[in-house]
């Protein structure tokens, strides 16, 4: 089983003009650039339609598979991050509760997690979940 899915990558590509697919595949710097430039003025976003398979291969090489599923964690972060669902999934109960009570730590925590969730999951998977 692969750590990162092409299907999830293409679904996030739909929101790629804000960098979602770039963050998902472990490219936080270009994800941030896409966020502030609307996917490099939509041109980079369109080009990425063809680059996603390569981004997925790169993510496979860089992140450790294990009991925690990257795809589920990213879906939870993207759609329920405000409530800390991805934190609860990682068994980070205290920070999950803080996110739940503070709206994802006033959205700053969600931004932090967009930058780091792949590394967080990789470390947890390396340690056995």
Q: Rounded to the nearest 10 degrees, how much is the dihedral formed by the CA atoms of 27, 86, 78, 10?
A: 60
Q: Residues 82-99: what's their mean pLDDT?
A: 98
DSSP state of 92: -
Q: Is the predicted pLDDT of residue 1 greater than 80, yes or no?
A: no
- Domain chopping of the chain, boundaries: 6-62, 70-126
DSSP tally for the chain: helices H, then strands E: 8, 0
Residue-wise pLDDT for 13-58, tens only, equals 998 778 999 999 999 999 999 999 999 999 999 999 999 999 999 9
């Amino acid at each position: 089983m692969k750590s990162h899915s092409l299907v999830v990558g293409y679904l996030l590509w739909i929101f790629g003009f804000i960098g979602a697919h770039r963050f998902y595949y472990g490219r936080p710097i270009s994800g941030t650039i896409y966020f502030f430039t609307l996917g490099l003025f939509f041109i980079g976003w369109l080009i990425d339609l063809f680059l996603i398979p390569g981004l997925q291969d790169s993510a496979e090489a860089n992140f450790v598979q294990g009991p925690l599923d990257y795809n589920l964690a990213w879906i939870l972060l993207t759609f329920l991050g405000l409530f800390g669902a991805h934190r609860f999934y990682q068994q980070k109960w205290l920070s999950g509760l803080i996110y739940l009570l503070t709206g994802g730590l006033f959205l700053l925590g969600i931004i932090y997690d967009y930058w780091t969730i792949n590394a967080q999951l990789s470390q947890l998977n390396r340690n056995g979940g």
